[in-house]
Amino acid sequence: MYFGAIEAGGTKFVCAVGNDDYEVVERISFPTTAPEETLRRAFAFFDRFDLKAIGIGSFGPIDVTPGSRTYGYIGNTPKPFWGKFDLLGSVQRRYGLPAGWSTDVNIAALSEAAVGAGKGLDSVLYLTVGTGIGGGAVIRGRILEGFSHPEMGHIRIRRHPLDFFGGACPYHRDCLEGMAAGPSIEARLRQKGGEIDPDHEVWDYLADYLAQALYNYTMTLRPDIIVLGGGVMKSPALLPKVKAFLPELIASYVEIPPVDKYLVHPQLADNAGIVGGFILAEQALDER
């Protein structure tokens, strides 16, 4: 019997089945269209396998509060037809299996903690910097959630003195996501990140904001490692600058691991969400 995993992204759905070693046996991906059509394709895939549990990591916001009337639902999203959609319930009604449920960022964090860059460490923070910014923390193998899931992209940061950009977050303007996610680059320069010279000062701004964010996470959570994923983090200029700025901000107040071991790229790349879904499925099975 297999684990099933769904990585429900705002633009793309990835479904996969895997064995007990979290190895992908088969996977499929297709565009995220209306919920009914999207799930029809997902079910057509999973119906072919004998599953024992399913793990779902979804784009957000989602309700992860146990006991909530809308637990398993997608929250208010601008994506047409998905707002207030009962994604977890739809899957459970179809298969009647133990099902784990969390955010897409959290399941990526879970997989990096279990079998990726954070393997063997107790406390792993994962941050993705792409179209948006999101973070998840995994502590001793469990995703950190409370009343709901963390929103690490929407923290407040201090403005760089030479950066006059107003911020792109529709809720907070110049929160971390508003100032350092991919759309902030395009809004400042009318160019995509990949087209911008590594020496351009915009990388200094972004590295400054990200270093401030990592400073805050370091002080509040004291993780063993911080894994930095997402399309914007692939810009070669960025990570070296963040690595230079963070120790300056910490100013030796607390000890952190050597910075090259503390701030790293993900190891699982394209399969991070899927492997995290298998792990979440396994946890749901163990809990039943």
Write out the residues near Zn ion by the rule CB under 5 A: 154, 169, 171-172, 175, 177
For residue 209, the minimal CB distance to Zn ion (Å) is 12
Question: DSSP string covering 130-192, please?
Answer: SSSEEEEEEETTEE--SSS---GGG-B-PPPTT------BTTTBSBHHHHHSHHHHHHHHSS-
Minimum Å gap between C-beta 208 and Zn ion is 17
Q: For residues 177 and 282, which CB has a smaller minimum distance to Zn ion in the complex? A: 177
The distance of closest approach from Cβ of residue 90 to Zn ion in the complex, given in angstroms and rounded to an integer, is 29
Q: Which is nearer to Zn ion, 79 or 172 (CB)?
A: 172
Written as one letter, the residue type at 62 is I
Please say whether the beta carbons of 92 and 123 come within 8 A. no
Closer by beta carbon to Zn ion, 137 or else 175 = 175
Which residue number, 181 or 225, has a Cβ lying nearer to Zn ion?
A: 181
Q: In the bound complex, what is the minimum distance in angstroms from residue 213's beta carbon to Zn ion?
A: 12
| Nearest approach, Cβ of residue 185 and Zn ion (Å) | 16
Q: CB-wise, 62 or 152, nearer to Zn ion?
A: 152
Long-range contacts of 247-250, Cβ-Cβ distance < 8 Å, separation of 24 or more:
248/211, 249/211, 249/212, 249/215, 250/215, 250/218
Q: Count the neighbouring beta carbons within 10 Å of the beta carbon of residue 38.
A: 21
Give dist(CA 285, CA 288) in Å, integer.
Answer: 5
| Helix ranges, 222-266 (H) | 238-250, 259-262
- Report, in Å, the least distance between residue 263 CB and Zn ion: 23
To Zn ion, the closest distance from the beta carbon of 60 in angstroms equals 13
Residue 38 or 128 having the CB closest to Zn ion: 128
Tokens of 272: 């991070």
Exposure of 2 in the CB half-sphere (CA atoms within 13 A): 19
Nearest to Zn ion of 16, 168 (CB atom)? 168
CB-wise, 51 or 133, nearer to Zn ion? 133
| CA-angle at 222, arms to 283 and 63, nearest 5° | 40
CA-to-CA separations, 235 to 4, 130, 245, 251, 264, in angstroms, rounded: 33, 11, 16, 26, 14
Give whole-number Cα distances, 198 to 117, 201, 238, 239, 255, in Å.
26, 8, 8, 11, 30
**In whole angstroms, how close is the CB of 61 to Zn ion at the nearest point?**
12
